[in-house]
């Protein structure tokens, strides 16, 4: 039976916060999907040490910030130096999605975003990906656009409907995808291969990089194929969401989906 990747938080698009040391610890224990934890600069103490241990154990992204930022986040200042921002979506593991997609008899198509930090670009890519039947979007745990209310609105709700995999190590994901039989196609102007000549009827992981830096060299080196879009004007690059859309619909064209 075909697997449906339901999002338990679908429709809950308001950014939520939990503040106070013990409430944040309870939120972690309860399994809430925490986007990141904000800690007051130079905060210390036994409970903070316990919280730091939990942050490390659950591999939660955190950052130290001035108390003024915490005050603005909570509005009443009763945060005890700790604020957790709860994600509006549930994240999935690409290690689960690829095998399940293959078991269903489908040809996997996954899009990976490398350092795409603009919320509107993330939302636009997710919207196109959902329309194009992409099986999952992979983003890095650190250095990616935040998936918040604005991102969900930019995606017209697509971020609630397509599996998002927030992974700690994109290189590990690439190697896993390779071992699972997917070709790795990196979109880059450094290539001499036109994007239309790549065989997308094969299981594919497509890597799109940020507009200012492109796909990281370490990922380019381990990609099976690198492909470029034609650029005839004076502007050096397309908007990443536009470029991603062109690639995604070339995949549909080659797979005969109309």
DSSP string spanning the chain? -------TTTT--S-EEEESHHHHHHHHHTT--EEEEEEETT--SHHHHHHHHHHHHTT--EEEE-HHHHHHHHSS--STTEEEEEPSS----HHHHHHHHHHTT---EEEEEES---HHHHHHHHHHHHHTT-SEEEEESSSS---SHHHHHHTTTGGGTS-EEEES-HHHHHHHHHHTT-EEEEE-TT--SBGGGS-TTS-EEEEEEBTTTBS-HHHHHT-SEEEB----SSSS---HHHHHHHHHHHHHHHTT--
Question: Residue 3: pLDDT band by 50, 70, 90 thresholds?
Answer: very low
Predicted local confidence at residue 11, as pLDDT:
32
Q: Whole-model pTM?
A: 0.83
Question: Residue 9: pLDDT band by 50, 70, 90 thresholds?
Answer: very low
Q: What is the pLDDT of residues 112-164, one digit of tens each?
A: 999 999 999 999 999 999 999 999 999 998 888 888 888 999 999 999 999 99
- Domain spanning 16-86, CATH architecture: 2-Layer Sandwich (3.30)
The CATH fold of domain 94-254: Alpha/beta knot (3.40.1280)
Domain ranges of the chain: 16-86, 94-254
Q: What is the pLDDT of residues 216-244, one digit of tens each?
A: 999 999 999 999 998 887 677 789 999 99
- For the chain, the average pLDDT equals 89
């Amino acid at each position: 039976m075909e697997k449906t990747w339901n999002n338990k938080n679908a429709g809950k698009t308001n950014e939520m916060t939990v503040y106070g040391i013990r409430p944040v610890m309870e939120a972690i224990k309860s399994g809430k999907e925490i986007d990141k934890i904000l800690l007051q600069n130079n905060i210390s103490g036994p409970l903070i040490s316990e919280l730091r241990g939990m942050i490390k154990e659950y591999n939660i992204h955190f950052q130290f910030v001035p108390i003024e930022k915490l005050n603005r986040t909570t509005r009443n200042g009763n945060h005890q130096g700790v604020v957790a921002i709860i994600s509006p979506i549930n994240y999935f593991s690409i290690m689960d999605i690829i095998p399940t997609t293959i078991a269903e008899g489908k040809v996997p198509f996954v899009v990976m975003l490398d350092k795409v930090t603009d919320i509107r670009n993330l939302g636009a890519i997710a919207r196109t990906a959902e329309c194009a039947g992409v099986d999952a979007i992979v983003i890095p745990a650190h250095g990616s656009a935040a998936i918040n209310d604005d991102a969900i609105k930019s995606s017209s709700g697509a971020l609630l409907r397509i599996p998002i995999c927030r992974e700690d190590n994109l290189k590990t994901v690439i190697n896993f995808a390779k071992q699972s039989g997917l070709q790795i196609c990196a979109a880059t102007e450094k290539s001499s291969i036109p994007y239309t000549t790549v065989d997308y009827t094969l299981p594919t992981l497509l890597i799109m990089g940020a507009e200012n830096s492109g796909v990281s060299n370490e990922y380019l080196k381990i990609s099976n194929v690198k492909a470029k879009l034609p650029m005839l004007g004076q502007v050096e690059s397309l908007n990443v969401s536009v470029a991603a859309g062109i690639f995604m619909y070339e995949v549909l064209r080659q797979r005969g989906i109309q």
